[in-house]
Amino acid sequence: MEESKSTVASRLTSVKRRSGKSYGQIAEETGLTNVYVAQLLRRQAQLKVDTAPKLQAALPELTDELLQEMMKPPLRSYDPHLIQEPTVYRLNEAVMHFGESIKEIINEEFGDGIMSAIDFYCSVDKVKGVDGKDRVVVTFDGKYLPFTEQKSEHMVSRLRLQEN
Q: In which band, very low, low, confident or very high, does the pLDDT at 158 lie, cut at 50, 70 and 90?
A: confident
CA separation for the pair 72, 86 (Å, rounded): 31
Active-site residue (options: 22, 116, 135, 158): 116
Active-site residue (options: 85, 93, 104, 135): 93
CA separation for the pair 14, 24 (Å, rounded): 16
Distances (CA, A) of 90 to 86, 87, 96, 109, 113: 6, 5, 10, 27, 26
**What per-residue confidence (pLDDT) applies to 154?**
84
65 is catalytic: no
Residue partners of 137: CB distance under 8 A and separation at least 6: 124, 125, 126, 127
149 is catalytic: no
Residue 81 CB burial class (10 angstroms; 0-12, 13-18, ≥19): exposed
Q: What is this structure's pTM?
A: 0.83
Q: In which band, very low, low, confident or very high, does the pLDDT at 160 lie, cut at 50, 70 and 90?
A: low
90 is catalytic: yes
- Chain segment 8-31, per-residue pLDDT in tens: 999 999 999 999 999 999 999 999
**What per-residue confidence (pLDDT) applies to 44?**
94
In sequence order, the β-bridge partners of residue 125 are: 137
Nearest-5° Cα angle at 107, 99 to 105: 55
Query: Are 163 and 74 a contacting pair, CB within 8 Å?
Result: no
Q: In which band, very low, low, confident or very high, does the pLDDT at 164 lie, cut at 50, 70 and 90?
A: low
Active-site residue (options: 18, 90, 135, 158): 90
CA separation for the pair 104, 111 (Å, rounded): 9
Q: Which helix (H) or strand (E) covers residue 16, if one does?
A: helix 5-19
Q: Does residue 3 surpass a pLDDT of 90?
A: no
CA separation for the pair 148, 87 (Å, rounded): 36
**What per-residue confidence (pLDDT) applies to 1?**
54
